[in-house]
Amino acid sequence: MSGFFKSSIGRKVAMALSAFFLMFFLLQHFAINILSVFSPDTFNEVSHFMGTNPLVQFALQPVLIFAVVYHFVMGFVLELKNRKANGVGYAKDNGAANSTWFSRNMIWTGLTILAFIVLHFIDFWFPEINTKFIQGDWTGTLEGIDGLRYHEELVHKFVSPIRVGAYVIAFIFLGLHLAHGFTSAFQSVGAASLRKKLEKVGIAYSIIVPLGFIFIALYHHFNH
C-alpha cells in the first residue's frame, strides 16, 4: 500500500482524497460562517462548541492542518513533475488546444489561495490559539461585550476595505481553482464516467461556496 502512494497514480489519488476532505471542510466552514449573517447568537454558540470540543481541537484540527499542507505541497510537486516530463518548451506550447485555462493555471490559483490561508490564519487561527493555549482562556468571552466574542471578532476583521478586498480576490481565485479541481479529484479516484454530471456539480460548488464567503465579508463590512 505504501508503494502505491509513492507511485504517480498513488500520489494523484492521495491528492484527490485531501481535496475531498478540504472541500467538505470548506462547505462546513461556510455553513457555520453564514450563521453570522442570519443569527449571530447561533453563530457564537456553534463557534464556541467547535472551538472547545476536544475531538475538534485535538483530533480533527491536526488532520485539517496536515491536509492543507499535504495538498499544497503535493500539488506543487505534481505540477513540477508534469512540467519536467513535458520538457522546457511546456510553457510555450499551445496548451489551450488540449486543456482548459483552469488546468494550466492551477499552480497560480493555488499560490494565491495559499497566500490567503496565511492571511486567514493570521486573522483568526493564530489569535484563537493564543487565547486558548497561551492565555488559557476557553470561556469564549470578551471584555466589554455581552455574550460570546466570536461574532464581534469576525465583524471587526472586515472593517478594513483592504482586507475585505483581499478576501474577495482570494475567493474568486478559490472558485477558479475549484472549477477544475472538483472534477479532477473525482477523475483521479476512477469516477471519470460521471464526468458530465460532476462538471455541473463542480461548477455549482465552485460558484456558490466562494460567492457565499464573499457575501459574508461584504455584508459585515457594510453593516459593522
What residues have CB less than 8 Å from 32, skipping those under 6 apart? 43, 46, 47, 50
Predicted pLDDT of residue 27: 95
User: Could you give the CA distance from residue 195 to residue 197 in angstroms, rounded to a whole number?
Assistant: 6
| Residue whose entry in the numeric block shows the C-alpha cell 499535504 | 70
Determine how many CB atoms are found less than 10 A away from the CB of residue 97.
6
Share of the chain above pLDDT 70, in %: 85
Query: How confident is the model over 62-106, as pLDDT tens digits?
Result: 999 999 999 988 888 887 877 777 654 434 444 454 456 556 667
Query: How confident is the model over 6-21, as pLDDT tens digits?
Result: 667 777 888 888 989 9
Own/partner pairs, 214-219, CB within 8 angstroms, 24+ separation: 214/167, 214/168, 214/171, 214/172, 215/37, 216/33, 216/34, 216/36, 216/37, 217/158, 217/164, 217/167, 217/168, 217/171, 218/164, 218/168, 219/37
22-61 core/surface letters (b: 16 or more CB in 10 A; e: else): bbeebeeebeebbbbeeebeebbbbbbebbeeeeebeeeb
Query: How confident is the model over 131-164, as pLDDT tens digits?
Result: 999 999 999 998 878 889 999 999 999 999 999 9
- Longest Cα–Cα distance in the chain: 61
Output the nine-digit C-alpha cell for 108: 497560480
Q: Which pLDDT band holds residue 31 (cuts at 50, 70, 90)?
A: very high
**Higher-scoring residue by pLDDT: 2, 40:** 40
Rg, C-alpha atoms of the chain? 19
Domain 2-86+103-222, classified CATH 2.60.40.10, yes or no: no
